[in-house]
Structure 1
Amino acid sequence: MMRPIVGILGAQMNHADNQFIDSRFEYVQDVNIAAIETAGGLPMILPIAKMDLKDLVSEYVNRIDAVFLIGGEDSDSQLYGEQPDPLLGEIDQQRDLFELAIYHQAREQHKPILGICRGMQLINIAEGGNLYQDIKLARIDQPLKHDQQPTVVTAETQQIKIQANSWLRPLLGDKHQVNSVHHQIVHQLAPTLQVAANSADGVVEAIESQDHEVYGVQFHPEWLTKTDPAMQTIFDWFVKQV
């Protein structure tokens, strides 16, 4: 039986590093690869297209069965019509444009899409929503600590509440402990999306598209698969959607 091919969109290192002659390289954390392999998928890492963006994106999406948008730096605020706030972190405009192109092509072909952290935020941007460039700008009355550093990412530090009819409910139940490593959050949710889970302070922690082809989580299940078996079920379920 052929394994479904899951295209994992990589990140790129844009800073000098003494260990490498070429300071620019692309990478995917191995926990993302392992999660897809364990789920029965065949991971294919898609490097960011440097030329012929339209043609390469079309070929990439034609050859894969699903798209996995992993975490990473902030997205360019200009993608949703805002100038950068001083609290905006590092951005990678080349990565943004590539991931958006892959996303829209995959949507046209009705291929399942999963986004984690940055990936979920990019989904919201692609569908017409926007973000708070930093959680402080949301002015939440009683905010939780959503960037748990220096606590390790494998610790589950907060509880989310999962909507009754969401894709996550059968996998994680009505409540579940998760990790939290982000400083940006959904502001206005795109009209094609719906909330699947929230944290206690109201932050959107999971989404899904109304046509049930796109899914996203704000937390990082890929880091928790060894300590919390329920987190691996997210990837198992996603691969089965192909």
Structure 2
Amino acid sequence: MRIGITADINLTLTNSINLKLANFAPKPLLDVLIKNKVIPIIFPIASPKMAKELLETVDGIIIPGGPDVAPFLYQAEPILQNGATYQPRDEFELELIKQIQLAHKPLLGICRGIQIVNLALGGSVYQDLTTQFPSPNLLQHHQKTLGNLPVHTVKISQGSQLFQIFGHSAYVNSRHHQAVKEPAPGLKISAQSSDGVIEGLEDQAGLVQLVQWHPENLWQNDPLEEKLFQQFFKRVEKVKQAHC
């Protein structure tokens, strides 16, 4: 089994020519695939025209975290609190998501992944929770402690794919200031934090699963977070066998 992982972009200042705008994938994410004998294929931030051919080389896709999605691409102007963006990645991933839907291949989105997939399928996002989310009891969604430590719970929707793993709740990490506003048509809420922020989405067919937290930083100490990936691998294998 081969899983494509869309690359993030190094936007930090560096004197190393080879690290400027370098494409990379999170090592803990690669590690969980390798541990489970799944071959990771890192997709560079390529021309959208290459998305279909790249997709043909893998059995499923993971879209991990990264910069905010450029508001221009969802017909909005950036508010003051909108973070760094990198439009070439946005444009490549939007086309890749379109091709995934046409190919009926499984997709797992993490953090930024839940946001751009939701946008691609017709949903909306909050550009900044602290200024736009209508709750006086907003949790700390951009945690101040180490990123591999859980900080708040999420309530899991009964009957969802996540419920099969976690039951009624999960204790997760949180490193985001944007979030899903309105779910796209065809996606249902699978997890929410106590303040009402959407933390998980999925489709009825089991091809799309999206989470707002970072399981790639939790699986090393939480078997249930590793099971989230293993469940995804099983769905990929099932679809792969059905297409044979």
Q: Give the total of aligned pairs.
A: 235
Question: Amino acid of the residue matched to residue 214 of structure 1?
Answer: V
Distance in 2, matches of 1:79 and 1:71, equals: 18
The alpha carbon displacement at 1:15 in A equals 4.3
Higher helix share: 2
After superposition, what is the alpha-carbon deviation per residue over 1:23-51, rounded to whole angstroms, capped at 9, x for unaligned?
221111101111222233210001111x4
The equivalent of 1:177 in structure 2 is 171
The equivalent of 1:32 in structure 2 is 29
Q: In the alignment, is the contact (CA less than 8 A) between 1:40 and 1:236 conserved in 2?
A: no
Q: In the alignment, is the contact (CA less than 8 A) between 2:6 and 2:44 conserved in 1?
A: yes
Question: Amino acid of the residue matched to residue 18 of structure 1?
Answer: N
Segment of structure 1 superposing worse, 34-43 or 153-162: 34-43
2:43 is the alignment partner of 1:46: yes
- Misfit runs of 4+, over 3 Å: 19-22
The alpha carbon displacement at 1:21 in A equals 5.3
Distance in 2, matches of 1:16 and 1:159, equals: 35
Distance in 1, matches of 2:19 and 2:34, equals: 30
Question: What pairs with 1:155-166 in structure 2 (closer than 5 Å)?
Answer: 155-166=149-160
Residues 21 and 153 of structure 1, relative CA distance in 2, 3 Å threshold? closer
The equivalent of 1:93 in structure 2 is 87
Q: Normalized against structure 1, the TM-score is what?
A: 0.93
Q: In the alignment, is the contact (CA less than 8 A) between 2:109 and 2:117 conserved in 1?
A: yes
The equivalent of 2:97 in structure 1 is 103
Distance in 1, matches of 2:204 and 2:185, equals: 9
The equivalent of 1:23 in structure 2 is 20
The alpha carbon displacement at 1:204 in A equals 0.5
For the aligned residue pairs, the C-alpha RMSD in angstroms reads 1.3
Distance in 2, matches of 1:195 and 1:201, equals: 14
Could you list the runs of 5+ residues in structure 2 that have no partner in the other structure? 237-244
Q: In the alignment, is the contact (CA less than 8 A) between 1:159 and 1:200 conserved in 2?
A: yes
Distance in 2, matches of 1:81 and 1:24, equals: 26
Q: Normalized against structure 2, the TM-score is what?
A: 0.93
Distance in 2, matches of 1:58 and 1:15, equals: 30
Question: Amino acid of the residue matched to residue 138 of structure 2?
Answer: P
Secondary structure at the aligned position of 2:161 is classed as coil
Question: Amino acid of the residue matched to residue 41 of structure 2?
Answer: M
Secondary structure at the aligned position of 1:18 is classed as coil
Could you list the runs of 5+ residues in structure 1 that have no partner in the other structure? none
Residues 65 and 161 of structure 1, relative CA distance in 2, 3 Å threshold? same
After superposition, what is the alpha-carbon deviation per residue over 1:58-77, rounded to whole angstroms, capped at 9, x for unaligned?
21111110010000110011
Question: What pairs with 1:1-80 in structure 2 (closer than 5 Å)?
Answer: 4-20=1-17, 23-49=20-46, 51=47, 53-54=48-49, 56-80=50-74
The equivalent of 1:222 in structure 2 is 216
Distance in 2, matches of 1:119 and 1:187, equals: 14
Percent sequence identity is 35
Distance in 1, matches of 2:10 and 2:150, equals: 28
The equivalent of 2:181 in structure 1 is 187
2:238 is the alignment partner of 1:236: no
